[in-house]
Amino acid sequence: MQHGKYRFIVGFLVAPLALYAVFVIWPFIQAIYYSFTDWTGLSPDFKMVGFANYKRMFEDDVFWKALQHSALFVVLLPLVTLGLALFFAFMINVGGRHRKGAAVSGVRGSGFYKIAYFFPQVLSIAIVAILFRFAYSPNDGAINGALNAVGLDSLAQDWLGDPNVALWSIMAVLVWSTVGFFVVLFSAGMASIPKDFYEAALLDGAGRATTFFKITMPLLWDTIQSGWIYMGILALGAEAFASVQIMSVGPGGPDYSTTVLPLYVWQSAFRDANAAYATTIGVALLVLTLLFAAVVMRLGRRERLEF
């Protein structure tokens, strides 16, 4: 029986593991291999150059700028996005005032708020980036127009043309476009927490802040940790690339102030026709992603709570 069981399990695992190896593992191996060559990406001819691409990368000022910007993305975006999502989800589910017949409830109109927060998820990041590129326009954009209309002319500026604020403007768009997904995710997790826990805390005189930090966060910790890793991968991947590619000047400007690693990989491969160097930067991006996930998993390790 045991032998037959293992054969049955292996039979189900062979196909998905084979597909994973072909379409995920093998491209990683190829990328690492090509990083040791001088391949242009336009010709089948190439030769091995050893660690020349890595030496060039460590001496490349643009790479270090892109690395710094990606590090800001991977630290600040999850922190701000998940913090806002937790606050909104808590208020929607258990942060309302006591009403007759319900000791624990969300704020009034919580159903509408869920839809409103989730709405940006209906739009692709490309559409969101195009809309905000027009909104950030210094002359006829909606943001400067609104500031001028309420007498805050001093705050109006060239949001995407100023090197000091361009990166922060793009990060704000990413927060706006992704926070709704985590509001819904955390709301689903909070809905599964027994109301008895909150009612007992209220009877003991606990306020909103106490119930959030003593009940909600510990019981949602696994979901928060997974969301942190997922958001970090988005910040190092397609979301960051698409937003910077569409919204920034250049793209990546002005003066490389918005260049991130995914964009620099694309520019090296398709603008500069240097696929080998692009794969070298891609390997660095892979290492950064793995380090980020490992750090989050290590720092977020704690005793599992069940209810």
Using alpha carbons, select from 236, 237, 250 the residue that is nearest to residue 133: 250
- Give the pLDDT band (50/70/90) at residue 36: very high
Residue range of the domain that includes 271: 56-299
Residue 153 within a domain: yes
Give the chain's domain count. Answer: 1
Is 263 part of a structural domain of the chain? Answer: yes
| pTM for the predicted model, two decimal places | 0.85
Computed over every residue of the chain, the mean pLDDT equals 85
Is residue 44 over pLDDT 60?
Answer: yes
For the stretch 185-222, pLDDT in tens is 888 888 888 877 777 877 777 777 788 888 888 888 88
Question: Quick check: is 38 in a domain?
Answer: no
Q: What is the pLDDT of residue 4?
A: 64
Q: What is the CATH number of the domain that holds 178?
A: 1.10.3720.10
Higher-scoring residue by pLDDT: 118, 61: 61
> Rounded to an integer, what is the distance from CA 18 to the centroid of its chain?
29
Whether residue 105 is contained in a domain is answered as: yes
Q: What is the pLDDT of residues 225-282, one digit of tens each?
A: 888 888 888 888 888 899 999 999 888 988 899 999 999 999 999 988 899 999 999 9
Query: In this structure, is residue 101 part of a structural domain?
Result: yes
pLDDT tens, position by position, 143-159? 989 988 888 888 888 99
Instruction: Establish if 125 belongs to a structural domain.
Output: yes
Classify residue 50: in a domain, yes or no.
no
Q: How far apart are CA 20 and CA 232, in angstroms?
A: 22
Give me the pLDDT at residue 97, please: 58
- Render pLDDT for 62-91 as a digit per residue (tens, 0 to 9): 999 999 999 999 989 999 999 999 988 888
Examine the pLDDT at 3 and tell me if it is beyond 70. Answer: no
Is residue 14 in a domain? no
Give pLDDT, residue 302.
63
